[in-house]
Structure 1
Amino acid sequence: MTTWNELPAHLVSKIRSDSVTAPANLPGAVPALKYGNAITEVDGIRFDSRKEAKYYEDLLWQQRTGAVKSIELQPEFVLQPGYEVAGKKIRPIIYKADFKVTEADGHIYYVDTKGMRTQVYMIKKKMLLYRYPDIDFREV
């Protein structure tokens, strides 16, 4: 039996794309992620990448040793508040870091694990550091 991926090019061109369910959209299929990251689960928590999950495991280890007091996932920063123009509501611009880490001595820092630095990320990072100049922000 021939699968969709094995069809000759002359037949593929004759298939209407709106009449066929793509293999990635079939039940049980795992969709390919845009930047090649892999959803990874640690302690029942889903992370957007293996790198983020590994960093979380490292933070848990540091928490067990007493170097880290607390770990908060996905802390949010309002970069620009929402507003209304001519009756139309404009949503706020929000930046979500991956982690907020409180060390044993009370020092707080924020971490973003990055595999791909997109233009949107670069702009939001710039806005974050402008709006909150005193935070300790770390990119790994």
Structure 2
Amino acid sequence: MGIAKAKSKYHVDISEQGKKNRTYKGVTYDSLTELRFLQEFIEPRMKSGEILSYERQVEYVLQEKFKYNGKTILPIKYRSDFNVIWADGTLQVFDVKGNPDSMSLLKRKMMWCKYPEANLTFICRNLKYGGWVEFDTLKKLRKEAKKAKS
């Protein structure tokens, strides 16, 4: 019987080998999927000129800290995976997801409300549907496939 790998609460291999697998050009990414997104989506578009630049891990404050009954309530923050500036100058914020949880969906709504110009997009890797697919589109495609199956 083998030794179990150390995993984070998001099922990411946090062992030394896992970190090495997620390291690219000296940067350790949160997940292999995030690293693949950079390699398969962002870098080719940077080379072609579709994307001018990108940043990682940009923090947004969705709700400021405040006092309630004399107690300080911490701010609600969101940290993006990738902020992309397209060739036309528009900003798009990408969050690479396997399957968004309820907290992610709530923060997405808050982000859309407070920072509509950021154009937050949840993106998933799904080879069956062509590689990198927006989460809402993927959800719709899966629903249609399930309907067609029955």
Q: Are positions 1:135 and 2:135 aligned together? A: no
Q: How far apart are residue 73 of structure 1 and its match?
A: 0.3
Which sections of structure 1, spanning at least 5 residues, go unmatched? 7-22, 25-29
Q: Distance in 1 between matches of 2:122 and 2:91?
A: 14
1:56 alignment partner in structure 2:
38
> Cα RMSD (Å) of the superposition?
2.2
CA distance in 2, matches of 1:110, 1:116: 17
Task: Tell me which amino acid in the other structure corresponds to 2:107.
Answer: K
Question: Counterparts in 2 of 1:24-103, with a 5 A limit?
Answer: 30-38=5-13, 39=19, 40-57=22-39, 58-103=41-86
Q: 1:133 to 1:108 in 2, by over 3 A?
A: closer
Sequence identity (%): 30
When Rg is computed on C-alpha atoms for both structures, the one with the higher figure is 1
Divergent runs of 4+, >4 A: none
Larger relative contact order (Cα-Cα within 8 Å, sequence gap ≥ 6): 1
Mean Cα deviation higher: 47-56 or 83-92: 83-92
CA distance in 1, matches of 2:24, 2:108: 27
Q: Following TM superposition, by how much is the alpha carbon of 1:86 offset from its aligned partner in structure 2, in angstroms?
A: 4.2
Question: TM-score if structure 2 supplies the norm length?
Answer: 0.66
Contact 2:108 2:120 in 1 (8 A): no
Residue 53 of structure 2 contacts residue 85 of structure 2 at CA under 8 Å; is this kept in 1? yes
TM-score (norm 1): 0.70
